[in-house]
């Protein structure tokens, strides 16, 4: 059995021997057979290919080239076997490498990994996660911090906590990239927790950077929503204004349009699973997601969060991607009013479950905010249509007037944008008439920056974060030396 006192070099030298001892001591026979089969299969593959290869899926040419170098320099082909390697170190790899790592880890008895004192895992992103001497150590190469979302009325050191995980802010010591790191205990980890984020890439889906197993917890490193979740914003700043809701809704719909085009149901659309960045919002938490293989998904269990669930999901007789659209409708009601649907009419204290109410009474159009615009109200009716076949899809909703308001109805900053743009263009025209090239170039650069921001709520969110005293306190740079 691997002793905790062994120095890293001894562990390296005895890696293969200790690995076998560990397997024998802690795995059951079935695990050993699976592992052995995998070992021979891998050896065969390596012999055929003349060495260990990375599947290049999801990697840029540059990364693929780097992988080749990595393979040479680290002598990956000469490792005793990949089974031991993948459970006994860190490697840069492709999505396929990562998925095979998480599958192996989630199938192993947790006792077999209990004594792994070093990080093991697969990193997808070489630009942000910089390995040193074949290692990527927690609290050395990557530092973890509690989120310090200093929204008003909130204490510091808040760690957003879900039912199975907790999410820290992480920073790579070399690249300085800030990431979110979700910790899931081995007992609760399942491959689905990473599968969708690893396989599917879209700007409105939090990008997965790598997965490590350390200290008996799975660490998922991903794109960080430094502005916190929509739920945190609601809890601290109260109901959102319609132009903010429109902005978030559009981002979520784009993410859903992409997921649904791949027949993926997210299954848990709600304010805490939408996180904010300065220029976009992304979906997180794919632990309940499912990729449909048929028109209708027949669930074996109830998936989702009650208050946001559609009536067909509650019924458990089969549903499809439209269930997410309904949950988005519930989420919009929460953003408008500060409470999820139902709870103001049926207080939680008196109603321990809302399933029956949803089944009998959905959709909860009475919960739509009183000051909701007519177009948003009609959007909500389409999104929360009781019959999923008649409910609009993400692509259809993206074309709705409610989320594409006419220019004159845009929020003030948009008008400010437009006004600035018009003034700048007029000035530019005048300047070019006068041939004053010096001023023209300075105006040009200002203008291009301005145009880049146009169409996003860049200014609003910045201003908003000021109003809400939203800051993410990063680590003092002195901590990195
Ligand atoms: N990439 C991220 N960036 C910023 N915050 C995040 C990120 N991922 C998750 N969070 C925050 O951490 C909280 C918990 O994460 P997550 O929902 O993934 O865990 P969970 O255990 O599956 O939660 P639940 O079961 O309640 O949905 C989220 O509500 C969100 O506030």
Q: What is the pLDDT of residues 355-413, one digit of tens each?
A: 999 999 999 999 999 999 999 999 999 999 999 999 999 999 999 999 998 876 666 55
Residues 189 and 243 in one domain: no
Q: Is the CB of 284 under 6 A from ligand 1?
A: yes
Average the pLDDT over 58-72 and give the result.
Answer: 36
Domain boundary among 194, 223, 252: 223
d(CA 3, CA 208) in angstroms, rounded, equals: 33
- Please check whether residue 390 is in contact with residue 312, taking contact to mean a CB–CB distance below 8 angstroms: no
H or E segment to which residue 320 belongs: none
Residue 48 maps to a domain: no
> Tell me: the pLDDT tens digits for 352-370?
899 999 999 999 999 999 9
> Tell me: the pLDDT tens digits for 114-138?
556 688 999 999 999 999 988 999 9
Identify which has the larger pLDDT, 172 or 83: 172
> Which SS3 state, helix, strand or coil, does residue 200 take?
coil
Instruction: Read off the pLDDT band of 69 (50, 70, 90).
Output: very low
List residues bridging with 212 in a β-sheet: 121, 219
Residue 141 maps to a domain: yes
Residue 253 maps to a domain: yes
Average the pLDDT over 261-276 and give the result.
Answer: 97
Q: Which residues are catalytic?
A: 268
d(CA 385, CA 387) in angstroms, rounded, equals: 6
Residue 267 maps to a domain: yes
pLDDT at 218 over 80: yes
Q: Which residues of 74-86 are buried (b: 16+ CB within 10 A; e: fewer)?
A: bebeebebbbbbb
In this structure, the strands spanning 290-291 and 281-283 are: unpaired
Q: Tell me, what's the pLDDT at 452?
A: 36
Residues 279 and 374 in one domain: yes
Domain boundary among 375, 393, 409: 409
Pocket residue to mutate for ligand 1, from 273, 278, 287, 340, most atoms within 8 A of Cβ: 273
Which phi and psi angles does 134 have, rounded to 5°? 70, 15
Q: How far is the CA of 260 from the centre of ligand 1 (A)?
A: 21
Residue 359 structure tokens: 């089944």
Q: Tell me, what's the pLDDT at 415?
A: 57
Residue 8 maps to a domain: no
User: ipTM of the assembly?
Assistant: 0.95
Q: Which residue, 123, 259, 263, is CA-closest to 203?
A: 259
Residues 355 and 261 in one domain: yes
Q: What is the CATH number of the domain that holds 244?
A: 1.10.510.10
Angstrom CA distances, 288 to 165, 383, 420, 455, stand at: 14, 21, 45, 33
Residues 140 and 249 in one domain: no
> Which SS3 state, helix, strand or coil, does residue 79 take?
coil
> Which SS3 state, helix, strand or coil, does residue 92 take?
strand
Residue 173 structure tokens: 């010591």
Rounded to whole angstroms, the maximal C-alpha distance in the chain is 85
Residues 150 and 270 in one domain: no
Residues 284 and 388 in one domain: yes
Q: How far is the CA of 348 from the centre of ligand 1 (A)?
A: 23
Total domain count for the chain?
2
Q: Which residues of 283-318 are buried (b: 16+ CB within 10 A; e: fewer)?
A: bbbbbbbbebeeeebebeeebbbbbbbbbbbbeeee
- What torsion do the CA atoms of 135, 138, 139, 143 make, to the nearest 10 degrees? 110
Instruction: Read off the pLDDT band of 75 (50, 70, 90).
Output: very low
d(CA 293, CA 290) in angstroms, rounded, equals: 9
pLDDT at 220 over 70: yes
Residues 102 and 219 in one domain: yes
> Tell me: the pLDDT tens digits for 431-462?
877 764 444 333 333 333 333 333 333 333 33
- What torsion do the CA atoms of 28, 34, 39, 44 make, to the nearest 10 degrees? 160
d(CA 215, CA 221) in angstroms, rounded, equals: 15
Residues 202 and 241 in one domain: no
Out of 87-91, 144-148, 469-473, pick the least confident: 469-473
d(CA 194, CA 96) in angstroms, rounded, equals: 12
Q: Tell me, what's the pLDDT at 19?
A: 38
pLDDT at 29 over 90: no
Q: Tell me, what's the pLDDT at 187?
A: 86
Residue 305 maps to a domain: yes
Out of 35-49, 220-234, 298-312, pick the least confident: 35-49
Q: Is the CB of 287 under 6 A from ligand 1?
A: yes
Q: Which residue, 51, 233, 69, 94, is CA-closest to 152?
A: 233
Domain range enclosing 243: 228-409
pLDDT at 425 over 90: no
- If you take atom 15 of ligand 1, which residue's CA is the nearest one? 162
Q: Which residues of 336-346 are buried (b: 16+ CB within 10 A; e: fewer)?
A: bbebbbbbeee
Residues 263 and 378 in one domain: yes
Q: Tell me, what's the pLDDT at 109?
A: 63
Q: Tell me, what's the pLDDT at 266?
A: 97
Identify which has the larger pLDDT, 366 or 66: 366
Region class of 143: left (phi > 0), else alpha (psi between -120 and 50), else beta? beta
Q: How far is the CA of 195 from the centre of ligand 1 (A)?
A: 16
d(CA 80, CA 15) in angstroms, rounded, equals: 9
List residues bridging with 46 in a β-sheet: none
Q: What is the CATH number of the domain that holds 203?
A: 3.30.200.20
Q: Is the CB of 164 under 6 A from ligand 1?
A: yes
Residues 293 and 306 in one domain: yes
Q: How far is the CA of 219 from the centre of ligand 1 (A)?
A: 13
Q: Is the CB of 170 under 6 A from ligand 1?
A: no
pLDDT at 27 over 80: no
Q: Is the CB of 229 under 6 A from ligand 1?
A: yes
Q: Which residue, 313, 305, 307, is CA-closest to 341?
A: 307
> Which SS3 state, helix, strand or coil, does residue 281 take?
strand
- If you take atom 31 of ligand 1, which residue's CA is the nearest one? 229
d(CA 374, CA 400) in angstroms, rounded, equals: 12
> Tell me: the pLDDT tens digits for 37-57?
444 344 444 433 333 232 333
Residues 145 and 104 in one domain: yes
Place of tokens 């860049």: 458
Place of tokens 């559009």: 250
The contacts of residue 23 (CB under 8 Å, 6+ apart) are 31, 32, 35, 112
Q: Tell me, what's the pLDDT at 156?
A: 44
The burial of 408, by beta-carbon neighbours within 10 Å (0-12 exposed, 13-18 middle, 19 or more buried), is given as exposed
Q: Is the CB of 274 under 6 A from ligand 1?
A: no
Report the predicted TM-score, pTM, of the whole model to 2 decimal places.
0.71
Domain boundary among 223, 249, 270: 223
pLDDT at 233 over 70: yes
Instruction: Read off the pLDDT band of 89 (50, 70, 90).
Output: confident
- Please check whether residue 160 is in contact with residue 232, taking contact to mean a CB–CB distance below 8 angstroms: yes
Share of the chain above pLDDT 90, in %: 52
d(CA 474, CA 178) in angstroms, rounded, equals: 9
Q: Tell me, what's the pLDDT at 88?
A: 63
Residues 171 and 235 in one domain: no
């Amino acid at each position: 059995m691997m002793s905790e006192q062994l120095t890293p070099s001894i562990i390296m030298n005895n890696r293969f021997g200790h690995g076998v001892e560990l397997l024998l001591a802690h795995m059951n026979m079935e695990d050993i057979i699976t592992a052995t089969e995998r070992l021979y299969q891998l050896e065969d593959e390596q012999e055929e290919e003349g060495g260990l290869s990375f599947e290049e899926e999801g990697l840029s040419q540059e990364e693929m080239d780097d992988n080749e170098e990595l393979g040479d320099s680290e002598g990956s082909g000469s490792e005793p076997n990949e089974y031991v390697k993948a459970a006994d170190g860190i490697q840069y790899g492709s999505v396929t490498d990562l998925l095979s790592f998480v599958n192996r880890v989630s199938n192993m008895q947790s006792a077999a990994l209990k004594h792994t004192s070093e990080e093991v895992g697969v990193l997808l992103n070489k630009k942000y996660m910089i390995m040193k001497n074949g290692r990527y150590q927690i609290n050395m190469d990557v530092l973890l911090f509690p989120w310090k979302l200093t929204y008003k009325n909130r204490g510091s050191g808040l760690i957003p906590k879900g039912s199975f995980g907790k999410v820290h802010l992480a920073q790579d010591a070399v690249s300085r990239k800030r990431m979110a790191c979700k910790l899931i205990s081995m007992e609760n980890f399942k491959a689905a927790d990473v599968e969708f984020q690893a396989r599917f890439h879209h700007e409105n889906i939090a990008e997965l950077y790598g997965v490590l197993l350390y200290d008996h917890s799975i660490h998922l490193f991903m794109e960080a929503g430094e502005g916190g979740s929509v739920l945190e914003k609601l809890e601290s700043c109260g109901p959102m204004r319609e132009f903010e809701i429109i902005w978030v809704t559009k981002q979520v719909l784009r993410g859903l349009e992409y997921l649904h085009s791949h027949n993926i149901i997210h299954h848990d659309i709600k304010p805490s699973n939408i996180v904010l960045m300065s220029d976009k919002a992304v979906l997180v938490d794919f632990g309940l997601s499912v990729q449909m293989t048929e028109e209708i998904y027949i669930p074996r269990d109830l998936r989702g969060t009650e208050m946001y669930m559609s009536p067909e999901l509650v019924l458990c007789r089969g549903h499809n991607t439209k269930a997410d659209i309904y949950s988005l409708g519930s989420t919009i009601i929460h953003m408008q009013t500060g409470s999820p649907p139902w709870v103001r009419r049926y207080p939680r204290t008196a109603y321990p479950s809302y399933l029956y109410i949803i089944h009998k009474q959905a959709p909860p159009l009475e919960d739509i905010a009183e000051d909701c615009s007519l177009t948003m109200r009609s959007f909500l009716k389409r999104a929360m249509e009781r019959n999923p076949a008649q409910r609009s899809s993400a692509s259809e909703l993206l074309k709705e007037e409610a989320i594409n308001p006419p220019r004159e109805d845009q929020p003030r900053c948009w008008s400010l944008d437009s006004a600035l743009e018009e003034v700048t263009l007029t000035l530019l025209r005048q300047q070019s008439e006068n041939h004053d090239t010096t001023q023209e170039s300075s105006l040009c650069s200002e203008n291009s920056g301005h145009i880049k921001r146009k169409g996003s709520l860049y200014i609003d969110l910045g201003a908003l974060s000021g109003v809400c005293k939203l800051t993410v306190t990063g680590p003092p740079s002195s901590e990195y030396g």
